[in-house]
Amino acid sequence: MRKQIIVANWKMNLSNIEAESLVDEILKATLSLKDNQQVVFAVPFPYLINIKNIIGNKNSFFVAAQNCASTKNGAYTGEVSSEMLDGIGIKYVIIGHSERRLYNHEDNKVLKQKVDLALESNIHPIFCCGESLGTRESNNQNTFVEHQLRESLFQLTTEQIKKVVIAYEPIWAIGTGKTATSEEAQEMHAHIRKVLSTQFGITTAESISILYGGSVKGSNAEEIFNNSDVDGGLIGGASLNATEFLTIIKSLK
C-alpha cells in the first residue's frame, strides 16, 4: 500500500515561537492516522533540530528540510549539505520546488545532483515537478513534466526510486487566478506514474507516492485526495494555520 503523505511547506515564514506553537497544536489534536499515512513538516533550516525534538518519537510525524546543496562539502558559504541533514536525523528534503527553480535558477542537472546526494545520505527526496501557465496553455504539460522526471530521476536504480516522493506543482494554478480541477490533478498524477513505469516498471511506479501541490485547502482537500493516483499534498499557505492544516490531514483517504 502506498504511503499517503501531507507535507507542510512553511517556506520562509513563522518565528521560532510561532513554529513551536503551531506544531504543538497539531500534535495535541485528535488524529487517527493509518499505518501508511504520514505528516511531514518542511521547516526553515534554523528550526530543524527544535521541531524534530518537539515531535520526538511520535509515530507518523517527521521533519523535512526545504532544500539541500548540490555538492557534498566545500567552500560554499550559506549552503547546507545532505550529509549535515542526515547528521541531525532529518529523513526528508524538498528538492526542485518551483520557487527554487525560478528564483535560484536550479535546472534539472543540478536537481539530479541533489537527488543523488540526498539518497546517498539516506534522506528521502520530495522531488517537485510541474509546468508554467504558458506550457499548460500550449498543451505541452505532459512532455514538459516527463522531461523533468527523466533528467533528474532516471539515473536512479529501482530501489532508489522507491525512496523518492514526487510532488506535482501546477505552477499555472498558483497565484494566477486560474484553478486546477480535481480531474486535472488526477490526469497529471496518472501521467507521472505512467512515465515512471516506462523506466522502473509498473509495480515500482504503483508503489511511489505522488503528492499534489496546487493550492490545497481544507475546502478542496478531500475531493483532490479522493483521486486514485493522488497520495496526499504538498501544502503551502494552508499549513501555517493549525485548524486548516488539520482539516487537510483528516481529508486523507
Active site residues: 97, 169
Q: SS3 of 250, please? A: coil
User: Taking Cα atoms as reference points, which of 230, 224, 153, 233 lies closest to residue 195?
Assistant: 153
Beta bridge partners of 168: 129, 212
Please state the separation of Cα 128 from the chain's center in Å.
6
Element (H, E) at 17: helix 16-28
What beta strand segments (E) does the chain contain?
4-9, 37-43, 61-65, 92-95, 124-129, 165-168, 210-212, 232-235
Distance CA 218, CA 226 (A): 13
